[in-house]
Amino acid sequence: MNKFTSNDISDLSGKTILITGGNSGIGFQTALVLAGKGADVIIGCRSIKNAEKAIADIKYIYPNAKVSSVIFDLASLKSIQKFTDDWDISKLDILINNAGVMNISKRTETLDGFEMQFGVNHLGHFALTLGLLPYIQKSQNPRVVTVASTGAYAGKIDFNNLNSEKKYHRMGAYTASKLANVMFANELANRYPNILSVAVHPGAATTNLQRHSGDDALMNSIGNFLMKLVGQSQADAALPSLYAATSPDIVTNKFYGPVEKFNKGGAGIVKTPKRAKNEDVAKKLWDVSEKLIQNIID
């Protein structure tokens, strides 16, 4: 099997792509490559300063790159709603739901009162995608790529504790949110067959995703050491997202990630988390998520 690289991506001129968290880490590497291939890349970010730096860094490498930014907060459904209501581009060809938070040491809530990892990783992207659906569907070949993680394999959807109010375990909340990402991607494809919707995982990468881990210095040091030991570069970790966003070989209801040993290198179909195949749970999660959002923005 040939190893996928960014060289396999064809010219993307005329494609409009929005990527959340495109200002840093895997998201930045994804945005960088797509901009270099001629796409109109829009970086979704909370901070104007961080977005402007990312744009400057991309233009330093690709002076003619078409790259811009939009500002909204995935931890605020009203912020997301305002952004999608104000969207003024005729179509959106590719949406990459990339941003995320991980391993928050103490239970923290979004502005709407949801546990932060569930609220940002799942509900925020769920609301964003639904808000942009009219524009996604105007594309001839729309794609939605949702970035999960290997944590999805350990995740469990507990409808009695979705918000981690009864019991909070930081990795339990994280893995549940990542399983929700996979189930959302599959259910989106089932409900909207004209949209090529898939989930990916980047493998282990050296990013700032664990910046919310708290003040446990020993655990943070161990985590950083292990990540440096087994992790891959951010550029390599971006390959599954790039593959899912651009390859003609992508099909729905599959999970994509690194295909080499130790979840490092290349991109292709990988094993789907067993719980993600439960269509009844996926449908219920969609319906519950819709109600949670409607309670805030209606």
Instruction: Provide the residue ranges of all domains of the chain, joining segments of one domain with +.
Output: 11-297
134/179 Cα distance (integer angstroms): 26
Task: Determine how β-strand 16-20 pairs with β-strand 196-200.
Answer: unpaired
Letter string b/e over residues 184-203, b meaning 16 or more CB atoms within 10 A of that residue's CB: bbbbbbeebeebbbbbbbbb
Q: Where are the beta strands (DSSP E) in the chain?
A: 16-20, 40-45, 66-71, 94-97, 143-147, 196-200, 255-257, 268-270
Against a cut of 0.85, is the pTM above it? Answer: yes
Burial class (CB in 10 A: 0-12, 13-18, 19+), 140: exposed
Catalytic residue numbers read 174
pLDDT, position 204: 82
pLDDT, position 264: 79
pLDDT, position 206: 63
pLDDT, position 228: 52
pLDDT, averaged in runs of 10, over the chain (298 residues): 86 98 97 98 97 98 98 98 96 98 95 98 98 97 97 97 96 98 98 98 71 48 48 91 97 95 85 97 98 91
Letter string b/e over residues 280-294, b meaning 16 or more CB atoms within 10 A of that residue's CB: ebbeebbeebeebbe
Q: Are 176 and 155 within 8 A, CB to CB?
A: yes
| Phi then psi dihedrals of residue 89, to 5 deg | -100, 135
Which residues are 43's β-sheet partners? 19, 69
pLDDT, position 108: 97
What are the structure tokens assigned to 100, written together?
Answer: 């995320």
Domain 11-297: assigned CATH number: 3.40.50.720
pLDDT, position 262: 73
